[in-house]
Amino acid sequence: MGGPEYKIFLILANLVLLVFIIGIVVFIFQYHKRKVLHEREKSLLNEQHLQELLHTRMEIQQHTMQDIGREIHDNVGQRLTLASIYTNQLAYQNQLPGEAERITTIGKIIDESLAELRALSKNLTHPNSDIADLKELIQEECKRVAALNICEVHSTFNEGNHMISNTIKNFILRIIQEFFQNSLKHAGCSKIDLDFQYHQHGLKIEINDNGRGFDLRSEPEGNLRGIGLSNMDKRAELIGADFSLESVVGSGTSLHLFIPAGKLNIV
Q: What is the dihedral of CA 12, 18, 21, 26, to 10 degrees?
A: -120
Whether residue 17 is found in the same domain as residue 96: yes
Residues 114 and 180 occupy one common structural domain: no
5 and 93, same domain (yes or no): yes
First-residue to last-residue Cα distance in the chain: 77
Pair 165, 248 in one domain: yes
Domain boundary among 65, 100, 126: 126
Burial class (CB in 10 A: 0-12, 13-18, 19+), 197: middle
Check whether residue 77 and residue 31 sit in a common domain: yes
Same domain, 107 and 134: no
Give the Cα separation of 254 and 244 in Å (integer). 8
Query: Are 112 and 161 contained in the same domain?
Result: no
pLDDT (0 to 100) of residue 225: 53
99 and 153 part of one domain: no
114 and 140 fall within a common domain: no
Give the pLDDT confidence score for residue 132 in this predicted structure.
Answer: 73
pLDDT confidence of residue 224: 47
267 and 139 part of one domain: yes
Residues 144 and 35 in one domain: no
pLDDT < 70 stretches in the chain: 1-3, 51, 54-59, 61-63, 65-67, 69-77, 91-92, 94-98, 119-131, 218-227, 266-267
Number of structural domains found in the chain: 2
β-bridge mates for residue 244, sequence order: 256
Strand, coil or helix: what is 137? helix
User: Looking at 109, 126, 143, which one is the last position of a domain?
Assistant: 126
Distances (CA, A) of 135 to 130, 179, 209, 221: 13, 17, 20, 32
Q: Is 26 helix (H, G, I), strand (E, B) or coil?
A: helix
Instruction: Please give the residue range of the domain that contains residue 33.
Output: 1-126
- 95 shares its domain with 144: no
Choose the final residue of a domain: 98, 126, 154. 126
CATH at residue 221: 3.30.565.10
pLDDT tens digits for range 151-205: 899 999 987 777 888 888 888 988 998 899 888 888 889 999 999 999 888 999 9
